[in-house]
Amino acid sequence: MGLLDRLRQGGTPADWDALAARVPYGRFLGISVVPQADGGFLTRLAFDEKLIGNTVLPALHGGVIGAFLETAAMFQVLLDTESEHLPKPITLTVAYLRSAGPRETFARATITKQGRRVVSVRVEAWQEDPAKPVATAQGQFLVPSE
Amino acid sequence: MSGSKALELIGEDLQALVAHVPHARAIGLVVVDAQPGQIWLRVPYADFLVGNPETAVIHGGVITTLLDNGGGAAVMTALDELRAVATLDLRIDYMKPATPGRDILGHCHCHKVTRHVAFVRGTAYHDTPDDPIATAAMTFMVGANRTLPGLVRGA
């Protein structure tokens, strides 16, 4: 059984690490995947100085937040579809709601519509309190045909 | 807008527009040119920026960083005083995958500044903006907080 099939059935911590390791820029940013008791997962961005955009506040770079939301959405599409390949982003709209401080950030993605070729995803990112998102995004992804 | 305070301060050291941003340094972002309200940048190709190892195409998030950072810098160069700038909203459309091994260029144009909000269009490309990898529409809060852009000379 392949990695994605194992993950779709729960997976081991090593399987989830292997999923995060698939994306080099995600590894560079410090993105990992945290399985949840309900069978779903959160995507986590560890804090590192190199992720800062504004050193005075300090706050994470808006581009890093965008990349994190996009990656979380891609993982969700990968696991919720039958495809063995990472989906391709078509469009992503990010609303920056609060400055993201120098600490870990979490994201949860929800598929809002799954078509045959295009999947629509909503993503929220937060730091200490899920009720206070730092950013939300809506994106459309193309699922490569096999 | 009269003169550009940011451009007046940095003189010929255009790299100072992004040198104070740790993540811009982390991805190797280079300022190619700038004028009031506009900036041209480059991200050198690197393996750690790849999004999909099956294709070796650079991650869309790198292009988001390029255009978001360029957008903020374009707003800075459009203002006649130094003000804090923070991204409010960013929409990015991916038109074609970046070519593996090639640098990505970016152009951002701040085409409107109001009292509190600035509007920017951005394009990422290899050869010419007419053949884009991605385009972005961005809005920024101007005077979003009390921090001022740290324009570090020669950093």
For residues A23-37, average pLDDT = 94
Band of pLDDT at residue A59, cut at 50, 70 and 90 = very high
Q: Is B92–A91 a contact, with Cβ atoms under 8 angstroms apart?
A: yes
Q: How confident is the model at residue A84 (pLDDT cuts 50, 70, 90)?
A: confident
Q: What is the mean pLDDT of residues A55-65?
A: 95
pLDDT at A17: 86
Amino acid B109: pLDDT: 98
Give B17→chain A minimum CA distance, Å.
12
**pLDDT surpassing 70 at residue A52:** yes
Nearest CA in chain B to A27: B48
Q: Which residue of B has its CA nearest to A71?
A: B61
Number of cross-chain residue pairs from A and B with Cβ atoms under 8 Å apart? 140
Q: What DSSP string runs through A5-21?
A: HHHHTT--HHHHHHHHT
**What is the pLDDT at residue A72?**
97
Write out the two tokens for A19.
């999923």
In this complex, do B89 and A23 lie within 8 Å of one another by their Cβ atoms?
no
Residues of A in contact with B25 (CB under 8 A): 50
How close does chain A come to B61, measured CA to CA in Å?
4
Using alpha carbons, select from A93, A94, A103 the residue that is nearest to residue A126.
A103
What value of ipTM does the predicted structure carry?
Answer: 0.93
User: Residues 6 or more apart from B142 whose CB is under 8 A from it?
Assistant: B75, B79, B83, B84, B85, B113, B115, B116, B117, B118
Residue A140 pLDDT > 50, yes or no?
A: yes
A22, A43, A61: best to mutate for the B interface, most B CBs within 10 A: A61
- What does the alpha-carbon distance between residue A109 and residue A70 come to, in Å, rounded to a whole number? 9
- Measure CA of the first residue to CA of the last residue in chain B; give whole Å: 28
Instruction: Take residue A40 and report the two structure tokens written for it.
Output: 């779903």
Q: Does position A28 have pLDDT exceeding 70, yes or no?
A: yes
Question: Residue A127 — pLDDT band, cuts 50, 70, 90?
Answer: very high
The reply to whether residue B69 touches residue A53, judged by beta carbons under 8 angstroms, is yes
State how far residue B57 is from chain A, nearest Cα, in angstroms: 10
CA torsion, ordered A82, A13, B65, A93, to nearest 10 deg? 50
By C-alpha distance, the chain B residue nearest A86 is: B52
One digit per residue, pLDDT tens: chain B, 155 residues? Answer: 468 999 999 999 999 999 999 999 999 999 999 999 999 999 999 999 999 998 999 999 999 999 999 999 999 999 999 999 999 999 999 999 999 999 999 999 999 999 999 999 999 999 999 999 999 999 999 987 777 777 755 43
What pLDDT score was predicted for residue B152? 54
pTM exceeding 0.90: yes
pLDDT of residue B155: 38
A93 to chain B: nearest residue by CA?
A: B91
What average pLDDT is seen over chain A? 93
Calpha distance B151→B14 (Å, rounded): 10
Position B2 scores a pLDDT of 61
